[in-house]
Homo-oligomer: A and B are copies of this chain.
Amino acid sequence: MNAKTKKSQGFARSRCPVANTLDIVGDKWSLLVVRDLLHGKQTYKELAESPEGIPTSILADRLKRLEEGGIITSAAYQERPVRYAYTLTEKGKALGEVLLAIVRWGKKYVPGTQTFK
């Protein structure tokens, strides 16, 4: 079943901060989720509706991973049915600096990029 909550990321052989960080958010979706969270989105639905179209299976997996990694926390905001609101931890909010650097680079060097929202 969900016995493989964590699988492909079990490691710890690298000490370089770049490698360590990329092991956590070095994939195409994680930082996009963080971006949305920084922009105020909180629910599963809101995250799933982003224009990039993240598959639900990937979204659920990333939310799980980000929570295990201490990047986000989930809190039930209603019972029956239970619904969770995902929010960034301090550690997660700190990724805003990384995103900012990425945004600056993208705006400057990737044609077709538009000022976000």
Contacts and interface: CB of A to CB of B under 8 A. Distances in A.
Given A26-B31, A28-B26, A17 B113 contact: yes
Given A102-B21, A106-B21, A15 B113 contact: yes
Interface stretch (A57-65, A78-86, A91-99): A91-99
Interface residues of A, number: 43
A102 B17 contact: yes
Given A16-B51, A101-B98, A104-B97, A28 B21 contact: no
Interface in A45-70: 51-52, 70
A110 B52 contact: no
Q: Which of A19, A27, A52, A112 has the most CB of B within 10 A?
A: A19
A101 B112 contact: no
A106 B17 contact: yes
A48 to B, nearest CB: 15
Given A16-B116, A18-B31, A21-B102, 10 more contacts: A15-B112, A15-B114, A17-B106, A19-B32, A21-B105, A22-B28, A26-B26, A26-B27, A97-B105, A101-B101
